[in-house]
Copies of this chain bind each other. A is one copy, B any other.
Amino acid sequence: MPQFLDTNDADFEPAFAALLAAKREDSPDVDDTVAAIIADVRARGDAAVIELTARFDRLELTPERLVFTPEEIAAAIETVPAAERDALELAAERIRAYHVRQMPEDASWTDPEGATLGWRWTAVSAAGLYVPGGLASYPSSVLMNAVPAKVAGVERLAIAVPTPDGKVNPLVLMAARIAGVDEIYRIGGAQAIAAMAYGTESIAPVDKITGPGNAYVAAAKRRVFGKVGIDMIAGPSEILVIAERGTDPDWIALDLMSQAEHDESAQSILITDDADFGQQVGAAVDKRLETLERRAIAGASWRDFGAVITVRDLDEAAQLSNRIAPEHLELCVADPEALADKCVHAGAIFLGQYTPEAIGDYVGGPNHVLPTARSARFSSGLSVLDFLKRTTLARMTPEALRAIGPSAERLAQSESLEAHGLSVRARLDQLNR
């Protein structure tokens, strides 16, 4: 049974605090194993990657066969039905159109003292995208990572996707081709992260690694951070729906289940100002859980982490939402924009009853890689900015240096950094000569 809470109940606050604090994922401690794998790949390169792939993926490779050939990719893609191809192309086009608008502007200006200041954005040269194999090998995730990288201008974009027993999802290769990925390697796990971060004889190193993965991949990404950039370490998915009476309870039930079906650790919460409506949604969930293909997973998630919370009004709903800081926030209310203005901590907001969260997973345009586990308090979803970096620019004229140099010299002296001060003073002395 999910929890049914009411802010009018005396024990609401401790129950809600427990819901917020629930540890939904107990990652196995694989750090020592991962450290050994990374050290092995750094020491022995291709040979280590090939041995580890034989061991974990039951696949015998050679240095030449680490990468998919164009012919292999073309042959796999031929098997994709036209309807799937068209859907992927529509998704890619919409994701591209959204992310193009995120491209930040360079800036340059001259201030009253005569200093010319500004900044310039440039793309990361090479990025690597990890794509899980097996059940969670999602072509949509390929698009959500690869399209922003290419929009940002990343020249070389590599994918690592494990192919256990040699099996690969052709839709993943199709998505990679649509997104303009340059290299696809049939490797996975910590060995793939190590190979992309440090390079091997056959795999050139990248500067940034993004994409989801299991506990080994996550631990490897944490370990190579610093040598390369990484995106966030994603936790299990979450949705918060705030709904008034008026939307079909079955729609809300399906929206809640579309998170719950991802993972037994996923969390789906409904907040409503109408206790009866909350009960109706709960009943609709129970009905759907009788027939859903993934009812075992979705049912466990709903039972262990699901909640229906009745509030006095939508202002109180917004306050609770801000404490949850949800990854996905769906607002099925009459005036979703007004409510969205009050919900300041959320990865993505879906406004109105015709915007089910699943639209955002595939074809909405915004990215579906979003901050989990309350990290929307301080972080954002994936964007072109993850594949760009900013260089600040400053140029002083002699006049500008005369105007502000003495203050720099003074502060350098106060910090006992003599050479800092002298580097300014030597120039001022010559200018004043």
Give the residue name and chain of the B residue nearest to A417 (CB).
B261
Is B228 in contact with A378, judged by CB distance below 8 angstroms?
Answer: yes
> How many Å from the CB of A352 to the closest CB on chain B?
5
Interface residues of A in 351-375 (CB under 8 A from B): 351-367, 370-371, 373, 375
A353: which B residues are within 8 A, CB to CB?
427
A346 touches B419 (CB 8 A): no
Chain B neighbourhood of A56, CB < 8 A: none
> In the assembly, what is the distance between CA of A139 and CA of B419, in Å?
17
Which stretch (A61-69, A80-88, A272-280) binds chain B? A80-88
A251 touches B426 (CB 8 A): yes
- Find A392's partner among B120, B348, B411 (CB 8 Å cutoff): B348
Q: Are B381 and A392 in contact (CB under 8 A)?
A: yes
Contact among B355, B394, B416 for A365, CB-based, below 8 A: B394
Contact (Cβ within 8 A) B407 A91: yes
Q: In the complex, which residue of chain B has the Cβ closest to the Cβ of A340?
A: B393
Residues of B within 8 A of A248 (CB): 426, 430
Q: How many copies of this protein are present in the complex?
A: 2
Contact B393 A362 (CB under 8 A): no
A377 to B312, CA, bound (A): 51
User: With A404-B359, A407-B90 given, is the CB distance from A352 to B396 under 8 Å?
Assistant: yes
The 9 closest A-B pairs by CB, nearest first: A229-B378, A366-B392, A351-B395, A254-B423, A358-B420, A87-B407, A257-B419, A380-B390, A356-B423
Interface residues, chain A, CB within 8 Å of chain B?
A: 83-84, 86-88, 90-91, 94, 97-98, 101-102, 104, 107, 109, 111, 115-117, 119-120, 122, 124-125, 135, 138-140, 171, 207-208, 226, 228-229, 233, 248, 250-251, 254-255, 257-258, 260-262, 288, 292-294, 298, 336-337, 340, 343-367, 370-371, 373, 375-381, 383, 385, 389-398, 400-401, 404-408, 410-412, 414-424, 426-427, 430
Given known contacts A87-B407, A294-B419, what 16 new A-B pairs fall within 8 Å (CB)?
A104-B104, A117-B366, A122-B344, A122-B345, A125-B345, A138-B415, A139-B411, A251-B426, A254-B422, A261-B420, A293-B418, A336-B395, A340-B393, A347-B392, A348-B394, A358-B423
